[in-house]
Structure 1
Amino acid sequence: MDFVQSLDPSKLVLAETVLSFAVSPFAAPPYNLAIFLFGTYVQENTEAVHSLQTFTGLLGASTILDVVWMLNNDQNGFVKLLTVVILLLKIPTFLAFGISLRQRGTSFGGLGGADLSGPTVWSMPGGFTSSGREGYQTVDEERPSHTSRPPVPAPPLSNTHSAAPGAYQTA
């Protein structure tokens, strides 16, 4: 694991992005370039823990898809070599991003015993949640009865400016 911890995830993703771009015009897995472009964004964004989890999952799944894709498609020698290099680089990249997830205080997709009913990314407008937050009333909550005050009468308007009927008056 010391070897994986010494790897730089941003350099790995950059190398795989360049290799995926180089083989994209040929018979190569078309999803690799998109995954690695997403990985370059995720690596730079330090607050996007959920996106980092998504990228790590896509990276692991695409490793399996690469093997299936290479079995079903024919490639010429050089492109096949680059595709195998990309496939082999995905393994340490997956491990490096897994360690990066752990350093950011989370695990990969609930495999570490994470609570799946944790905080949500968004909340319903009007407070339609089970917690009834910040003064919003939930659907099941009873409304408190407020004592009604009589309306306060408006101050009398001075009639110093005469205006035409229907025109605005200044106070």
Structure 2
Amino acid sequence: MDFIQGLDPSKLVLAETVLSFALSPFSAPPYNLAIFLFGTYAQENTDGVQSLRTFTGLLGASAVYDIVWMINNEQNSFVKFLTFILLLLKIPTFLAFGMALRQRGVQFGGLGGPDLSGPTVWSMPGGFTSGGRDGYQTVDEERPNHTSRPPRPPAAGPPVPAAQPPQPPLASGGYQSG
């Protein structure tokens, strides 16, 4: 762990960004450049822990995709070697960003799933949140005794059929004219 703590995450991300940019014109995984550009932002953003957590998760998942990419796609041997080097660099970078998250007091979501009790980024429309908003009733609140709509008028008896206009008599026979 001392080796991982001694690594500089910003230099690792910069090296991987440059390497993925150099591989981008060739038959290489196209998502690596976007992930490492986002990693540059996440590493420099000192306020946002969520972006650092997102980058760390994307980095770990992209390592699996790199293996699948190298198996399924034909590459030049030099490009394949550089893609493999990029894959190997992802391991210490993932560990360094995991340590950075731990130092900031954030744990990376384990197998138990995300922490749903923490602060949310968005809320359900219509006030289906625990705090309610804009006068909407929340799911947790009890229904008040009064209703917001006026009561319906009592239903009248069965409807009275309207009078039918008289029908002309049917002709009994073949063809009649006028």
In the TM superposition, residue 74 of structure 1 has moved relative to its aligned partner by 1.5
Distance of aligned partners of 1:78 and 1:11 in 2 relative to their CA distance in 1, 3 Å threshold: same
Distance of aligned partners of 1:25 and 1:63 in 2 relative to their CA distance in 1, 3 Å threshold: same
What is the rounded CA distance, in whole Å, between the counterparts of 1:21 and 1:56 in structure 2? 19
What is the rounded CA distance, in whole Å, between the counterparts of 1:109 and 1:8 in structure 2? 23
What is the rounded CA distance, in whole Å, between the counterparts of 1:65 and 1:28 in structure 2? 11
In the TM superposition, residue 77 of structure 1 has moved relative to its aligned partner by 2.1
What is the rounded CA distance, in whole Å, between the counterparts of 1:35 and 1:75 in structure 2? 21
Q: Which runs of 4+ in 1 moved over 2 A?
A: 109-117, 122-129, 135-143
Partner of 2:172: none
3-state SS of paired residue (2:130): coil
Partner of 1:55: 55
Partner of 2:92: 92
3-state SS of paired residue (1:16): helix
Of residues 124-133 and 82-91 in structure 1, the stretch that sits farther from structure 2 once superposed is 124-133
3-state SS of paired residue (1:25): coil
Over residues 104-123 of structure 1, what are the superposed CA-to-partner deviations in whole Å (9 max), with x where a residue is unaligned?
11111245886333210134
Over residues 95-138 of structure 1, what are the superposed CA-to-partner deviations in whole Å (9 max), with x where a residue is unaligned?
000001111111112458863332101345786521358x9874
What is the rounded CA distance, in whole Å, between the counterparts of 2:31 and 2:113 in structure 1? 30
Distance of aligned partners of 1:49 and 1:111 in 2 relative to their CA distance in 1, 3 Å threshold: farther
Please give the residue correspondences for 1:9-158 in structure 2 after superposition, counting only pairs within 5 Å.
9-111=9-111, 115-123=115-123, 128-132=128-132, 138=138, 140=141
Q: Does 1:8 align with 2:8?
A: yes
TM-score, normalized by length of structure 2?
0.70
Kept in 2, the 8 Å contact 1:5–1:99? The answer is yes
Of residues 71-80 and 119-128 in structure 1, the stretch that sits farther from structure 2 once superposed is 119-128
Kept in 2, the 8 Å contact 1:107–1:114? The answer is no
Aligned residues: 145
Distance of aligned partners of 1:126 and 1:11 in 2 relative to their CA distance in 1, 3 Å threshold: same
Q: Considering only CA atoms, is the larger Rg found in Structure 1 or Structure 2? A: 2
In the TM superposition, residue 53 of structure 1 has moved relative to its aligned partner by 1.2
Whichever residue aligns with residue 65 of structure 1, its letter is: Y
Distance of aligned partners of 1:84 and 1:142 in 2 relative to their CA distance in 1, 3 Å threshold: same
TM-score, normalized by length of structure 1?
0.73
What is the rounded CA distance, in whole Å, between the counterparts of 2:7 and 2:106 in structure 1? 19
Whichever residue aligns with residue 17 of structure 2, its letter is: T
Of residues 118-127 and 75-84 in structure 1, the stretch that sits farther from structure 2 once superposed is 118-127
Unaligned runs of 5+ in 1: 144-171
